A and B are shown apart, each in its own frame.
Chain A
Amino acid sequence: MPRLLLPLLTLTIAALAAMVLSVSYGSVPVPVADILAVLQGQGSELQRTLIMDLRLPRTLSAFATGGLLAVAGALMQVLLRNPLADPYVLGLSGGAAVGALTMMLLGLGGLFISSAAFAGALLATLLVFGLAHGMGSWTPSRLLLTGVVVAAGWGALITLMLALAPAQRLPGMLYWLMGDLSYARTPAPALLVLLLTCLLVIPLGRSLNVLARGPMQAAALGVSVQPLEWTVYVMASLLTAVAVTTAGSIGFVGLVVPHMLRLVLGNDQRLILPACALAGGTLLVLADTLARTLIAPEQLPVGVITALLGVPTFLYLLSRSR
């Protein structure tokens, strides 16, 4: 038990520290004493607006999005028994992007973009799963191949839409594709989904450990393989859809966070999945803080920062591991 608790406790502390940092830093300096005052319901009106209306919701959205993406990535990797799998490779984000960009082309905003992104991600999921199922039973390699090809199709559609888009809509579309937490408004739905996921995924953890050894072996050890695979796939798709709906398409988190954790913590899904929620959230909170403040008042796309932070960290861990 302490084997699981110690890393999770460490990651929780890191996550809280990242959130405190994110709430403390912005393009407008607010002294720590004033932040504490605001959190106690005092402070000036401007400071309340900055902290409670802008920074805190954005920080929580970043945390939820990062956590969702990392958990979805970890689930996909176990499902496909392929370390390169992530929700983006399977074309989920492509479907979401096509949905969102369509709404932007039509000049619709806000809720329309979110719902279309969500619908697009689910459509992509059904498409890939349906096609991979095809005539016979699906295998991980068939699912992966179908996903990659469908993703390429989405990619082409996205390029087409960008080419046909009126010039004044282009920046918004590009920023959406790069991922942008300034679009995130209420963090509650994403946080709720993340919490539910963690509760759901922990009891599945040991079954997933067994599934990682192949479906036959898992079945022989008492795992009902097909229902489990369906559950995992649908779950990963929903998580991605919610994440993409919250913050646009942010790549890289789903691929790299689970691997970083595996290099350090081993491959027990009961540990890795909640750890992904915490570490993915932490990474995105830090990245978004930098994106907001690095060259303020200009704002950077958060996806750039996640990659710039994640790539060296990942390579360092990889070179150190066996």
Chain B
Amino acid sequence: MAGLILQQLVIDVPGRASGTPLDIHVQPGQVWGVLGPNGAGKTTLLHTMAGLRPARSGQVVLADQPLAGWRRKALAKQLGLVFQERQDGFPATVLETVLIGRHPYLSPWQMETAQDLTVAREALQALDVAHLEERLVSTLSGGERQRVAIATLLTQAPAIWLADEPTNHLDLHHQVAVMQLLTQQAAAGRAIFMCLHDLNLAARWCDHILLLYPNGDACWGPAARMLVPAALERLYDQPLVTVEVEGAPFFVPRK
């Protein structure tokens, strides 16, 4: 079965009740948005789904095989993650950073081929950072770094994309460009699963929504069914005003 399947998954947030176990099938072509207030466990969920953190119970299954049974290198060809926090301990250029995305495809003795370089340059182009190729990542702005990180995932080209706040630090234009890129990827048969802070970006670009409550409760389903004011007001503990723009709901906090 294609896609990523969460079976009775309870993420391990220390000191929190288990809440609702997640039973979700993230299918190719879908764009999932995860909404929830700070501390709801969005990042923990993504890390658990990438097999970087053990679940409290339940499991994540990819191609009929629980993640624990996958070799990391094989998994990295299937599943990739844009991290919210990044460390650059040692200086590296933008091109070097993006080329790292080819790591799972190369054997230990192999150098990057011309084709790998092409893939990396196309990714830089797609994210509008090609002109920064030779710059050190540490000298970039937050938004530029964010785009470099997404370009790295594009270079990695997995079937399942996990992204932690992919629009962080981005200006409006680049927010839209990144969301367009992600939906294009979904249209090309990839599964997209991302955490978002911005309700309205989720409402505009996601077809499926997972609401994560701070107490561990959760509910999920098609966007139209999930993005109702009552549920969202409870989620953020914040009264909202809803308007409709171009056929999609638009949420504004009530004063």
- Decide if A and B touch, CB cutoff 8 A: yes
A-side residues, CB < 8 A to B, are 1, 4, 77-78, 81-83, 202-204, 206-207, 209-210, 212-214, 216-217, 219-224, 262, 266-268, 270, 322
- How far, in Å, is A95 (CB) from chain B's closest CB? 26
Flag whether B218 is at the interface (Cβ < 8 A): no
Q: Mark B96-122, 1 if CB is under 8 A from A, else 0.
A: 110011011010110100000000000
- How far, in Å, is A70 (CB) from chain B's closest CB? 16
Taking a contact as CB atoms under 8 Å apart, the answer to whether A322 and B136 are in contact is yes
Taking a contact as CB atoms under 8 Å apart, the answer to whether B108 and A203 are in contact is yes
Count of chain B residues with a beta carbon within 8 Å of a chain A beta carbon: 35
Taking a contact as CB atoms under 8 Å apart, the answer to whether A206 and B106 are in contact is yes
Q: Which residue of B lies closest to A203 (CB)?
A: B108
Flag whether B244 is at the interface (Cβ < 8 A): no
Name the contact of B108 in the complex, choosing from A81, A82, A206, A213 (C-beta under 8 A): A206
Residue among A209, A268, A322 with most chain B CB within 10 A: A209
Q: CA A203 – CA B100 in complex, angstroms?
A: 15
Taking a contact as CB atoms under 8 Å apart, the answer to whether B50 and A220 are in contact is yes
Q: CA A207 – CA B74 in complex, angstroms?
A: 14
Q: CA A128 – CA B87 in complex, angstroms?
A: 25
Taking a contact as CB atoms under 8 Å apart, the answer to whether A268 and B96 are in contact is yes
Which of B15-23, B76-84, B172-180, B233-241 is the contact stretch? B76-84
Q: Which residue of A lies closest to B109 (CB)?
A: A203
Taking a contact as CB atoms under 8 Å apart, the answer to whether B100 and A209 are in contact is yes
Q: Mark B32-55, 1 if CB is under 8 A from A, else 0.
A: 000000000000000100111000
Residue among B50, B91, B139 with most chain A CB within 10 A: B91
Q: CA A78 – CA B90 in complex, angstroms?
A: 8
Taking a contact as CB atoms under 8 Å apart, the answer to whether B88 and A213 are in contact is yes
Name the contact of A1 in the complex, choosing from B81, B91, B111 (C-beta under 8 A): B111
Name the contact of A219 in the complex, choosing from B72, B108, B139, B156 (C-beta under 8 A): B72
Name the contact of B89 in the complex, choosing from A82, A203, A268 (C-beta under 8 A): A82
Give chain A residues whose Cβ lies under 8 Å from the Cβ of B96.
Answer: 209, 266-268
Flag whether B75 is at the interface (Cβ < 8 A): yes
Taking a contact as CB atoms under 8 Å apart, the answer to whether A224 and B86 are in contact is no
Give chain A residues whose Cβ lies under 8 Å from the Cβ of B156.
Answer: 221
Q: Which residue of B lies closest to A211 (CB)?
A: B89
**A221-B103 in contact given A212-B89, A262-B90 (Cβ < 8 Å):** yes
Taking a contact as CB atoms under 8 Å apart, the answer to whether A207 and B108 are in contact is yes
Taking a contact as CB atoms under 8 Å apart, the answer to whether A81 and B89 are in contact is yes
List CB contacts (< 8 Å) of B148-184 with chain A. Answer: 156
Q: CA A221 – CA B106 in complex, angstroms?
A: 11
Q: CA A217 – CA B100 in complex, angstroms?
A: 10
List 9 A–B pairs whose Cβ atoms lie within 8 Å, in order of A's numbering. A81-B87, A210-B100, A212-B92, A217-B83, A221-B101, A221-B103, A222-B74, A268-B96, A270-B111
Taking a contact as CB atoms under 8 Å apart, the answer to whether B92 and A267 are in contact is yes
Taking a contact as CB atoms under 8 Å apart, the answer to whether A222 and B76 are in contact is yes
How many A-B contacts are there with CB distance less than 8 Å?
88
Flag whether B93 is at the interface (Cβ < 8 A): yes
Give chain A residues whose Cβ lies under 8 Å from the Cβ of B89.
Answer: 81-83, 212-214
6 more contacts with CB within 8 A, not counting A78-B90, A209-B100, are: A4-B111, A216-B47, A217-B83, A217-B86, A219-B72, A262-B90
Taking a contact as CB atoms under 8 Å apart, the answer to whether B52 and A216 are in contact is yes
**A221-B100 in contact given A212-B89, A267-B91 (Cβ < 8 Å):** yes
Q: CA A4 – CA B111 in complex, angstroms?
A: 10
> Closest 3 A-B residue pairs measured CB to CB?
A222-B76, A203-B108, A222-B104
Flag whether B56 is at the interface (Cβ < 8 A): no
- How far, in Å, is B100 (CB) from chain A's closest CB? 6
- How far, in Å, is A97 (CB) from chain B's closest CB? 29
Give chain B residues whose Cβ lies under 8 Å from the Cβ of A217.
Answer: 83, 86-87
Q: CA A202 – CA B173 in complex, angstroms?
A: 42
Q: CA A222 – CA B81 in complex, angstroms?
A: 11
Q: Which residue of A lies closest to B73 (CB)?
A: A222
Taking a contact as CB atoms under 8 Å apart, the answer to whether A221 and B86 are in contact is no
- How far, in Å, is B138 (CB) from chain A's closest CB? 9
Residue among A206, A212, A214 with most chain B CB within 10 A: A206
Name the contact of B77 in the complex, choosing from A203, A213, A222 (C-beta under 8 A): A222
- How far, in Å, is A107 (CB) from chain B's closest CB? 46
Q: Which residue of B lies closest to A204 (CB)?
A: B108
Q: CA A83 – CA B104 in complex, angstroms?
A: 27
Q: Which residue of A lies closest to B105 (CB)?
A: A222
Taking a contact as CB atoms under 8 Å apart, the answer to whether B104 and A221 are in contact is yes
- How far, in Å, is B38 (CB) from chain A's closest CB? 20
Give chain A residues whose Cβ lies under 8 Å from the Cβ of B103.
Answer: 206-207, 209-210, 221-223
Name the contact of A213 in the complex, choosing from B51, B75, B87, B139 (C-beta under 8 A): B87
Give chain A residues whose Cβ lies under 8 Å from the Cβ of B92.
Answer: 209, 212-213, 266-267
Taking a contact as CB atoms under 8 Å apart, the answer to whether B93 and A266 are in contact is yes
- How far, in Å, is B225 (CB) from chain A's closest CB? 31
Q: Which residue of A lies closest to B92 (CB)?
A: A267
**A222-B86 in contact given A203-B109, A267-B92, A268-B96 (Cβ < 8 Å):** no
Q: Which residue of B lies closest to A215 (CB)?
A: B52
Q: Which residue of A lies closest to B71 (CB)?
A: A224
Q: CA A77 – CA B91 in complex, angstroms?
A: 13
Give chain A residues whose Cβ lies under 8 Å from the Cβ of B87.
Answer: 81, 213-214, 217
Residue among A77, A212, A217, A322 with most chain B CB within 10 A: A217
